[in-house]
């Protein structure tokens, strides 16, 4: 299969490049900059951004195999700088960083910007910039802060972009990548059926006739994975769901009965609420809470699996944002944002082999696979729910009283969204608990009680997100219900912050 090789220099956005290529029906593989594979069938290279500076000794570099292949290269951000640097250009750091939107002015007659208007809004995120170009290179776009915002060497077919065409904020980003694919001369014929076939092939050759255990959370990723594996493994797949007491209202029951009814899948449900709650007592730090929840999950899951014989594999519905935000790919140097609890720990401890077929996919791609194998909308389109559950939606200490109030508030919010047909137009909505006392008046009495926050975001890849513009009357109605129906809540607030700079979850 002809492919584009995406060379990873540690950018938060590397998989977005691969994702854009998949959207353009082109097969691609991502590899770390220092582990370039045999270059069979590679028709072009995209060099990712990264947190390093090409002026620092020992910086990540472009492997000579890539230059020797004589194929087109597109360098993005750090990739652009290191390409210019290795070709004898000059990179500088003036101590000024450029984050967010910038306007670029495009020079006429450039192949990479074919059929585009003279100026475009693009997304920048860099400190270094290219100061002077090597021989044979020409500037193709400029911005106020980056006189060399893009360059090309048409005879070698080398291109550089200071901005990120892979993020949705860049106007014409996909068109630029498409133009690069035309330059590479690669056909656009790769589809999501191919992804499913590839997963089935990996499962068949790796797992063979061995038994697989799956940690089911009831979320989209692990549920779609369970259904995908159930097709080919049948009863060699055992699904275990741990109820850590941090689930939403009626969640465990709904997941177990729903899967049985919809796809005939049996789930072993383990009630471990008391263990989790006692371990979380008095803990307020978010990362510590995540670690406790993650470790306790491992202990409970391990003791449960000891009751099963012959298990050799652990399947997890880890998707790419989990990997990158935990910097779980140790080969690259992407910075840790949060330690997502479903990445790592469990397989080593239990000495199981790890099966993570969705590791390089985004949520909407997992959803497409779910639909392709016939899962109903209420499973495939449900909002994601984090592994540590309500534990990271209660700011500060987690206890039964707060959990009960939060579960009720969250239920009111989500059921109203569904009733008003707003649920599926949001990507993720939830209530969170703020242990901040505020004064209220109920009847003739003063109350001094905690706050419930509502968050709803729209996003395609969960890497960037915007708050949903919910109708004012709707939010007001939900707020009235929460304050009236839940004792000990004096106030409701709505979070309108985007990601970045905020994250989707509060902790």
Active-site residue set = 77, 164, 166
Per the CB < 8 A criterion, the answer to whether 53 and 84 are in contact is no
Report the distance separating Cα 206 and Cα 229, nearest Å. 13
Using CB under 6 A as the binding rule, whether residue 325 contacts ligand XMP is answered as yes
Smallest distance from ligand XMP to CB 257, Å: 23
> Residue 197 contacts by C-beta under 8 Å, 6 or more apart in sequence?
none
Return phi, psi of residue 479, to 5°.
Answer: -60, -45
> Strands (DSSP E) along 50-89, which ranges?
73-76
Asked if 173 touches ligand XMP (CB under 6 A), the answer is no
**Closest CB 118 distance from ligand XMP, rounded Å:** 36
Q: Measured from the CB of residue 62, what is the shortest distance to ligand XMP in angstroms?
A: 31
| CB of 412 vs ligand XMP, minimal distance in Å | 19
* Tokens at 117, concatenated: 């208007």
Q: Give whichever of 60 and 388 is closer to ligand XMP, judged by the CB atom.
A: 388
Q: What is the 3-state secondary structure (H, E, C) of 223-254?
A: HHHHHHHHHHHHHHEEEEEEECCCCCCCHHHH
CB of 430 to ligand XMP, least distance (A): 8
Write out the binding residues for ligand XMP, residues 470-499 only, by CB under 6 A: 499
The values of phi and psi at residue 72, to 5°, are -60, 145
Question: Cβ 455 to ligand XMP, closest distance in Å?
Answer: 10
Query: Does residue 341 interact with ligand XMP by CB under 6 A?
Result: yes
Residue number, 160 or 218, with CB nearest to ligand XMP: 218
Asked whether position 386 contacts ligand XMP by CB under 6 A, the answer is yes
Dihedral (CA of 129, 72, 332, 198) sign: positive
* 249 lies in the binding site for ligand XMP (CB under 6 A): no
Whichever of 106 and 346 has its CB closer to ligand XMP, that residue is 346
CA distance 381 to 371: 9
Cis bond before residue 6 (omega within 30° of 0): no
Would you give the binding string for ligand XMP spanning residues 106-125, x where CB under 6 A is met? --------------------
Using rule CB under 6 A, residue 503 touches ligand XMP: yes
Closest to ligand XMP by CB, 119 vs 425, is 425
Within 302-321, the residues that bind ligand XMP by CB under 6 A are 321
Nearer of residues 75 and 317 to ligand XMP, judged by Cβ: 317
DSSP 169-192: TSTTHHHHHHHHHHHHT------H
Question: Judged by CB under 6 A, how many residues of this single chain contact ligand XMP?
Answer: 18
Please answer whether residues 130 and 151 qualify as being in contact, where contact means their C-beta atoms are separated by less than 8 angstroms.
yes
Could you tell me the CA-to-CA distances from 360 to 199, 221, 288, 290, 365 in Å, in that order? Answer: 11, 12, 27, 23, 10
- Rounded Cα–Cα distance for residues 150 and 70 (Å): 21
Cβ at position 321, least distance to ligand XMP in Å: 6
Residue 342 binds ligand XMP, judged by CB under 6 A = yes
147 interacts with ligand XMP by CB under 6 A: no
Sites for ligand XMP among residues 407-466 (CB under 6 A)? 428, 462
Q: How far apart are CA 319 and CA 359, in angstroms?
A: 4
The verdict on 248 binding ligand XMP (CB under 6 A) reads: no
Q: Say whether residue 388 binds ligand XMP (CB under 6 A).
A: yes
Determine which residue in the list 387, 398, 405, 412 makes contact with ligand XMP, applying CB under 6 A.
387
Question: With respect to ligand XMP, which residue has the nearer C-beta, 18 or 390?
Answer: 390
Token representation of residue 350: 């239990």
What does the buried/exposed string (b/e) look like for 205-233 if buried means 16 or more CB atoms within 10 Å of the residue's CB?
Answer: eebeeebbbbbbbbbbbbbbbbbbbbeeb
> Is residue 164 within the footprint of ligand XMP (CB under 6 A)?
no
How many CB atoms lie under 10 A from the CB of residue 274? 10
Residues lying near ligand XMP in the complex (CB under 6 A) are found at 290, 321-322, 325, 338, 340-342, 384, 386-388, 428, 462, 499, 503-505
């Amino acid at each position: 299969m002809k492919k584009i090789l995406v060379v990873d220099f540690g950018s938060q956005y590397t998989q977005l490049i691969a994702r854009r290529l998949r959207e353009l029906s082109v097969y691609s593989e991502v590899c770390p900059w220092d582990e370039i594979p045999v270059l069979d069938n590679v028709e072009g290279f995209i060099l990712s951004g990264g947190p390093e500076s090409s002026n620092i000794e020992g910086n990540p570099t472009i492997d000579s195999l890539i230059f020797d292949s004589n194929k087109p290269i597109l360098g993005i951000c750090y990739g652009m700088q290191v390409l210019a640097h290795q070709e004898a250009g000059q990179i500088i750091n003036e101590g000024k960083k450029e984050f967010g939107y910038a306007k670029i002015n495009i020079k006429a007659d450039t192949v990479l910007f074919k059929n585009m208007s003279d100026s475009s809004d693009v997304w920048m995120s860099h400190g270094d910039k290219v100061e002077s170009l090597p021989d044979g290179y020409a500037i193709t776009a400029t911005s106020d802060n980056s006189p060399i915002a893009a360059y090309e060497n048409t005879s070698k077919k080398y291109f550089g972009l200071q901005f990120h065409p892979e993020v949705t904020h860049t106007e014409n980003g996909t068109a630029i990548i498409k133009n690069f694919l035309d330059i590479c001369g690669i056909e656009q014929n790769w589809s999501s059926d191919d992804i499913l076939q590839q997963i089935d092939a990996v499962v068949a050759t790796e797992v063979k006739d061995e038994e697989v255990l799956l940690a089911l959370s009831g979320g989209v990723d692990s549920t779609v994975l369970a259904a995908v594996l159930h097709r080919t493994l049948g009863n060699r797949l055992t699904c275990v769901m741990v109820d850590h007491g941090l689930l939403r209202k009626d969640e465990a029951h709904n997941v177990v009965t729903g899967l049985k009814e919809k796809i005939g899948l049996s789930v072993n449900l383990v009630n471990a609420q008391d263990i989790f709650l006692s371990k979380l007592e008095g803990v307020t730090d978010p990362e510590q809470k995540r670690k406790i929840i993650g470790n306790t999950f491992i202990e409970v899951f391990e003791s449960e699996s000891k009751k099963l014989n012959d298990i050799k594999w652990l399947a997890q519905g880890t998707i790419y944002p989990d990997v990158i935000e935990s910097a779980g790919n140790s080969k690259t140097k992407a910075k840790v944002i949060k330690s997502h609890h479903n990445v790592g720990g469990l397989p080593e401890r239990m000495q199981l082999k790890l099966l993570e077929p969705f590791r390089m996919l985004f949520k909407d791609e997992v959803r497409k696979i779910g639909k392709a194998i016939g899962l109903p909308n209420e499973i495939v389109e449900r909002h994601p729910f984090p592994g540590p559950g309500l534990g990271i939606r209660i700011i500060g200490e987690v206890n039964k009283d707060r959990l009960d109030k939060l579960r009720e508030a969250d239920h009111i919010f989500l059921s109203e969204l569904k009733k008003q047909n707003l649920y599926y137009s949001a990507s993720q909505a939830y209530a969170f608990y703020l242990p901040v006392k505020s004064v209220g008046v109920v009847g003739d009495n003063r109350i001094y009680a905690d706050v419930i926050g509502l968050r709803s975001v729209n996003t395609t890849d969960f890497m960037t997100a915007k708050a949903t513009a919910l109708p004012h009357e709707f939010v007001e109605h939900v707020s009235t219900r929460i304050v009236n129906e839940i004792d000990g809540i004096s106030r409701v607030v709505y979070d309108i912050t985007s990601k970045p700079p905020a994250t989707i979850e509060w902790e």
